[in-house]
Amino acid sequence: MTMSPERLSDPVLENDWHAVCLASELKEKPIGATLLGERIVLFRTGKGVHALKDLCIHRGAMLSKGWVDGDAITCPYHGWQYDAEGACVCIPAQPKGEKIPPRAAAQPYACTEKYGFIWVCLGEPAGELRHIEPFANPANRPILCGPYKVNAAGTRVMENFTDFAHLMFVHRHLLGHPEHAELPDVQIVKEPDRIYIENVPIFQPVAHAGSDKKDGTTYIYRKEVYRPLSGWLSKTDPESGQTLWILQTISPVSASECLVFMIVSRNYGFELDDMEFMRFQDIVFDQDAQVIETQKPELLPLDLQAELNHRVDRFSVAYRRYLRELGVVVGTT
């Protein structure tokens, strides 16, 4: 028997938005997902997308195993129906006209759709979902990649996103070359709602699926973290102006498991098959995951003395400080 995962308490992550599935997957059938150890059911009606705790108050069955009927979701056990706000609107076994007990309700969660993902917030949304133009503008051909399931803390995965010095080793001969491993001394910019670094040159033998440069390219990177588990980067070839943008947002399933959602956008190579970019991202992310899943401790140490932070790790260190200042608990130690 599998026990239910334990709901994790983290006021910052609970009040944040997390992508939980691809919007294209949520059709007429409900979908179950796990966020911060909480099982949730997602369903779509004519009124939009909705999320409830995946638990029928009657006898504890999973609503995600049920079905959608009009504007309500039906529990598969005794057919109780819940509306988008979680109110029970029908108890089939009860005589018609009798009042439904007010306690008959399912816990509702904030749910919305953006960038081709379904997003859920378990608490009170602390802010709007960030709008980042290259991922919202269809002219940039945003391609959804993943979700990739990783047996590691979301914080470890996010820190890998902030890391430059692994490109020449984990992604050698694609996104970096061991003979070009030296990094420049670039300062971090810290603002109240984000940290970023820019003008970082990285030599890349094969930078992307559509690369036709046989001798490689030196790209200029910009990376930004704007939420504990969300960030984006751009990399530009200064000669041609060709830019690739990657957004990464991580759903914390539990303290040491996550789902990684990505969007890849571009301003060139529209004649190329989008699938090539997706496959390239699958390869690159798998290379990252292979290493991340081996890291110990599993939870990201926010005590800066706990691991050896080098000057070249400046952006990762800024990320750890950012998590500590925000007070992120899950996935950290």
Smallest separation, CB 172 to Fe ion (Å): 11
159 scored as a contact of Fe ion (CB under 5 A): no
Per partner kind, with CB cut-offs from 5 to 8 A, the member of ligand FES, Fe ion, none near residue 288 is Fe ion
* Closest listed residue to residue 186, CA positions, set 38, 313, 31, 26: 313
Q: Is the dihedral of CA 300, 301, 306, 309 positive or negative?
A: positive
Phi and psi angles of residue 321, each rounded to the nearest 5 degrees, phi first: -65, -40
Binds Fe ion (CB under 5 A): choice among 277, 288, 302, 323: 288
Which one of the spans 15-23, 53-61, 287-295, 322-330 is the region binding ligand FES (CB under 6 A)? 53-61
Residue whose CB is less far from ligand FES, 80 or 322: 80
Smallest separation, CB 287 to Fe ion (Å): 6
- How far apart are alpha carbons 66 and 238 in whole angstroms? 53
Binds ligand FES (CB under 6 A): choice among 36, 56, 111, 260: 56
Per DSSP, the residues of 253-321 read EETTEEEEEEEEEESS-TTS-HHHHHHHHHHHHHHHHHHHTT-SSSSBP-STTSS---GGGHHHHHHHH
On the question of a cis peptide bond just before residue 76, with omega within 30 degrees of 0, the verdict is: no
Per partner kind, with CB cut-offs from 5 to 8 A, the member of ligand FES, Fe ion, none near residue 77 is ligand FES
Q: Which of residues 78-107 bind ligand FES (CB under 6 A)?
A: 78, 80
- Provide the b/e sequence for 122-149 (b: ≥16 CB within 10 Å): beebeeebbebebbeeeebbbbbbbbbe
Residue whose CB is less far from Fe ion, 162 or 256: 162
Q: Which amino acid is at 89?
A: V
Per partner kind, with CB cut-offs from 5 to 8 A, the member of ligand FES, Fe ion, none near residue 75 is ligand FES
Residue whose CB is less far from ligand FES, 42 or 75: 75
Residue whose CB is less far from ligand FES, 30 or 154: 30
Per DSSP, the residues of 214-226 read TT-EEEEEEEEEE
Residue whose CB is less far from ligand FES, 93 or 308: 93
* Closest listed residue to residue 23, CA positions, set 48, 40, 55: 48
Which one of the spans 8-16, 35-43, 52-60, 105-113 is the region binding ligand FES (CB under 6 A)? 52-60
77 scored as a contact of ligand FES (CB under 6 A): yes
Per DSSP, the residues of 200-211 read EEEEESS-STT-
Residue whose CB is less far from Fe ion, 129 or 284: 284
Smallest separation, CB 217 to ligand FES (Å): 57
Residues lying near Fe ion in the complex (CB under 5 A) are found at 288
Residues lying near ligand FES in the complex (CB under 6 A) are found at 56, 58-59, 61, 75, 77-78, 80
